[in-house]
Amino acid sequence: MLRNRFGIILVTALAPMIWGTTYLVTTELLPPGRPLLAAAVRALPAGLVLVLVTRRLPRGDWWWRALVLGALNIGVFFALLFVAAYRLPGGVAATIGAIQPLLAAGLAAGLLGERMSARTAIAGIAGVAGVSLLVLRADARLDGLGVAAAVGGAVVMATGVVLSKRWPSPAPLLATTGWQLTAGGLLLLPVTLVVEGAPPSTLTAGNLAGYAYLAVIGSALAYALWFRGIRELSPTNVTFLGLLSPLVATVLGWLALDQRLTVLQAVGGLVILGALVAGQLRGGGARRPTAVTRARITAVSGREPGASAGGAPAAPVEREPASSVN
């Protein structure tokens, strides 16, 4: 059981690691000044392909649940993410985004009956500190709207993670992933057209390769791994893994773009890894739901809490988003 959980954690960790490549792909391959187009292209085509492949549409309550989760995990999150990225230095946005594990732990306590342990709180604070050492610069300037967007992005992503756990989907993983990517992409499409206008009339081979990578690897594959992790782990466990995203982005900048890596950044990376490991330890962070919580979850999902989508016992509760570069 321990080995199986360790394997699930490692596989789920691939998602934020993939998202950590987004900055490099965006700066090196995509046309400049079109962040919302990149977000819409990441989500909508990948979602539609998964829906066509799985041939499963939502039923009953899952029509509106898929829309809500798609908005939180994809559509609204991406929009706020790019507002923050445009109005704030990247280090500030990443540092604010690092509060997601603490937000998810608090929401999981209220909605899932999990207990937020002192270790989780300390690890969450350490994660924020580690990300700030890794990417924050002393001359970083704050912008009120940008800060609000970054905080809002962290809140909606953490909420999406916890609600994804509270509403276990009866459909296969790829179908559920397709629903959310499609819903999020459909929400992003009109916003993209209004804010950025029509897509460029000409795209280079590099542009197309970048968009294809973001859609296939950065969305279809990464979100399937992420949502699988949400099914098997607790929301808090999953959101701690999101700290890997700025870490991978920084390492890639150092390796591929000759960006300088300081001693403080190295210390920040070690702090992030320590917080991530502490966030995955089991002990006091989760507990069995109370009778009231079990009744509420059963009424919402039609299944006893602790049962997976197929009815088999699932690993403890868990999850999201994700870091500021996904």
What's residue 301's pLDDT? Answer: 45
Residue 21 pLDDT greater than 60, yes or no: yes
| pLDDT greater at residue 302 or residue 116 | 116
Mean pLDDT of 22-37: 87
Concatenated DSSP letters of 1-25 = -HHHHHHHHHHHHHHHHHHTTHHHH
- β-bridge partners, 159: none
Residue 159 pLDDT greater than 60, yes or no: yes
**Helix, strand or coil for residue 267?**
helix
* Confidence bin at 3 (pLDDT 50/70/90): low
Query: What are 32-68's pLDDT values in tens digits?
Result: 888 899 899 999 999 999 999 999 999 999 999 999 9
Mean pLDDT of 221-241: 94
Q: For 71, which DSSP code?
A: I
| Alpha-carbon distances of 244 from 91, 114, 193, 271, 304, rounded to whole Å | 14, 24, 32, 11, 33
Mean pLDDT of 213-219: 94
- Tell me the domain boundaries of the chain: 2-301
Q: What is the pTM of this model?
A: 0.81
What's residue 326's pLDDT? Answer: 59
* Confidence bin at 211 (pLDDT 50/70/90): very high
Q: For 283, which DSSP code?
A: S
The phi and psi torsions of 24 (rounded to 5 degrees) equal -65, -45
Residue 277 pLDDT greater than 90, yes or no: yes
Residue 171 pLDDT greater than 70, yes or no: yes
* Confidence bin at 128 (pLDDT 50/70/90): very high
Q: Which amino acid is at 270?
A: L
72: how many CB neighbours lie within 10 A of its CB? 24
* Confidence bin at 101 (pLDDT 50/70/90): very high
